[in-house]
Structure 1
């Protein structure tokens, strides 16, 4: 059954619009993906504009939300953007499409006199590569967790990521050159009292938007925290013993969203889950079905207000939650 017969005209027009405006696909590429003619794609885009689905940006009113986006809204109270890709797409291609959409979503949210917090990682690096210029004034970009470990300072990696955001939006940069995980919680507490470090912590507390990916110990595209030398053998054993399914800015949690008793978090440089929940706009970007449990845990913990997710992962979470994927 073709996409045209499976979906309503409005749904198909919305799909075509996302591919055209958010993902910059050509009409020929869209026609191939939707299995329709190029002229049909043109008519769908015209219909989307004339019907109000698209103005300058893509609108997804409730009547035109696809089934998964509506389900995330009704079940978890989050605004979801489900990113479609051809069934033949690779994991990297799905990540790239998801990152491209996330960059467009963030650009809509960016404004002057705003502080954006970012958690470094592979997903945010992909988002940064798709950012479009939108000049602001008196705005800031702040690193939310450290990137230093025994192998690297992480300064170059995190600095490049922050620099791309700063260039796109003309923001002041606030780096956080501390370990991702301290050896001793007491060392962390002492460093937090240093005025230079405390100044960054205060900037983090001003964040109106927090953009982050989700780490997972079982991701098919390895998360930096689990593959980049941040965890030693004892730490990796704790990840297993505590039932950890993921992390947000190197703060770890279980599938039910709990983090009580996880002593790794006492050493983490990232904000606590309670602190994250205080940030008004929490934009999560995640791709790959192997991060199903990580996304489940983040949703259960109430860490997300807006979600950009690839369709395969969205369907995996839906299937588990409804009992069809257990």
Structure 2
């Protein structure tokens, strides 16, 4: 290429990328056609005169997100990178920060937002720092845990969300598991609960955690389960829960006495919410998350790299053969 031609391409590129002039402005300044400017900008990139470099962008994670998004028909996915030296505490913190940033972007004016509860969601809400005015309504989509003063109680979370998003909230005044199906039905049919159920029908966003296998009993609510409940769930091979609804490895909800005693959004209902966001990580929860994805109960997943790779291992996905695996 002749030097004068190369110099002209460089000049056009400089005006476009550094001085941020429009193509029309460049055309007028250099006395050439706008279509010529467009062609020269492209040629400058093709000839290597312009080299665009995106800093701190993990192309491997982005490709993994695109694969998962396509494979499970997700609207959105955020995968947090993991490094070998990360402790579990660090991994959880990274997840909470990513989830907080995502949620802040998605909640808009007058949204109706359903919130489940648990440690992961509690940490996520805590990471939302600056306020955003939305006039959104935040509602519980499951009854409360047994530990009324817990900072992860659903009422605490909807209150904090409403405060940080300059919105409104309502509370739920019942524990998630009742002693009998009749008690649960009485609460769900009561006048006070009608407002909450009406909001469940109009949710724009649902934000949920995903519980792991039955052996994980340090939950805020699983102490409400009876020995008979555990025995039944084990026999039916429960792999996890969401909104306090248990399911097997294929995502089939395990209905029965426990189901009929549970105050929480049905997973088939969760599936219909325009944006249903699941926030969870760890290899231990990979089967639970995979089951949720198989049934499309959630259409957005926020998790981390090691969890996704474990999910793909469970699926025997050939994509792993092309992934640059590292010890994590």
What TM-score range do you get, normalising by the shorter chain? 0.7 to 0.9
Q: Is it true that 1:84 corresponds to 2:68 in the alignment?
A: no
Give the gaps of 5 or more residues in structure 1.
1-49
Aligned match of 2:27: none
Q: What are the equivalent positions in structure 2 for 1:97-136 lying under 5 Å apart?
A: 97-136=94-133
Q: Which is further off, 80-89 or 122-131? A: 80-89
Q: Judge conservation of contact 1:135–1:169 (CA < 8 Å) in 2.
A: yes
Q: 1:68 aligns with which of 64, 67, 71?
A: 64
Is the CA contact 2:143–2:172 (under 8 Å) kept in the aligned structure 1? Answer: yes
Q: Does 1:238 align with 2:232?
A: yes
TM-score (norm 2): 0.74
Q: Distance in 2 between matches of 1:223 and 1:96?
A: 19
The residue that corresponds to 2:39 in the other structure is none
Summarize the Cα distance change of 1:131–1:261 in structure 2 as closer, same or farther, 3 Å threshold.
same
Q: Distance in 2 between matches of 1:195 and 1:290?
A: 40
Q: CA deviation at 1:192?
A: 1.4
Provide the C-alpha distance between the structure 2 equivalents of 1:146 and 1:140, rounded to a whole number of angstroms.
Answer: 17
The residue that corresponds to 2:37 in the other structure is: none
1:208 aligned partner: 204
- TM-score, normalised by the number of residues in structure 1: 0.75
- CA RMSD, Structure 1 to Structure 2 (Å): 2.7
Distance 1:291 1:219, change over 3 A: farther
Judged with a 3 Å threshold, the aligned counterparts in structure 2 of structure 1 residues 65 and 313 are, in CA distance, closer, same or farther, namely closer
TM-superposition CA deviations, 1:33-58 (whole Å, max 9, x none): xxxxxxxxxxxxxxxxx95969xxx9
Equivalent pair of 1:117/1:207 in contact (CA under 8 Å): yes
Going from structure 1 to structure 2, the CA distance change for 1:196 and 1:92 (only over 3 Å counts) comes to same
Q: Where do 1:16-27 residues align within 5 Å?
A: none
Instruction: Compare 159-168 and 299-308 and name the one that shifted more.
Output: 159-168
Q: Please tell me whether Structure 1 or Structure 2 has the larger radius of gyration of its CA atoms.
A: 2
Q: Deviations over 1:55-74 (max 9, x none)?
A: xxx999xx886332122112
Q: Is the 8 A contact 1:113 1:138 kept in 2?
A: yes
- Secondary structure at the residue paired with 1:133? coil
8 A contact 1:139–1:171 mirrored in 2: yes
Instruction: For 1:260-299, list aligned pairs within 5 A.
Output: 260-299=254-293
Match of 1:173 in 2: 169
Cα contact 1:133–1:167 (8 A) shared by 2? no
1:185 aligns with 2:181: yes
Match of 1:143 among 130, 140, 145: 140
- SS at the partner of 1:70? helix
**SS of equivalent to 2:91:** helix
Secondary structure, aligned partner of 1:104? helix
1:221-278 residue CA offsets vs partner (Å, 9 max, x unmatched): 943333xx22122222122112111111101111101115444222111111111111
> 1:161 aligned to 2:144?
no
Q: Does 1:320 align with 2:314?
A: yes
Q: CA deviation at 1:111?
A: 0.8
Q: Which runs of 5+ in 2 are unaligned?
A: 1-50, 321-328
C-alpha separation in 1, matches of 2:217 and 2:70: 30
Match of 2:31 in 1: none
Q: 1:66 to 1:148 in 2, by over 3 A?
A: closer
Cα 1:263–1:169 change in 2 (3 A) is same
